[in-house]
Amino acid sequence: MGHLSVSTPAVPQKVHAWILWEDGVEELVQAYAIGWTKRAVQVRFGAPPHQHDVWVWAGAVQRA
């Protein structure tokens, strides 16, 4: 994340996030924001054992 500081909440926030899969497919998912900077948000989505943590641009995330 370069020199941007990352904020991490005590309780992850419910969000909707646009993610981009490896094959180029975009998908709107229900997720939790587990960290963020001014420009990007780290979201967690899915269910174990298929849980994913990814960084997306802040504009790709809305609070649920």
Domain boundaries, the chain: 13-63
Dist. CA 59–CA 50, nearest whole Å: 25
Q: DSSP assignment, residue 2? A: T
Is the separation of the CB atoms in 44 and 31 below 8 Å? yes
Dist. CA 34–CA 52, nearest whole Å: 12
Q: DSSP assignment, residue 58? A: G
The number of residues making up the chain comes to 64
Is the separation of the CB atoms in 64 and 52 below 8 Å? no
Residue-wise pLDDT for 8-36, tens only, equals 999 999 999 999 999 999 999 999 999 99
2 pLDDT higher than 80: no
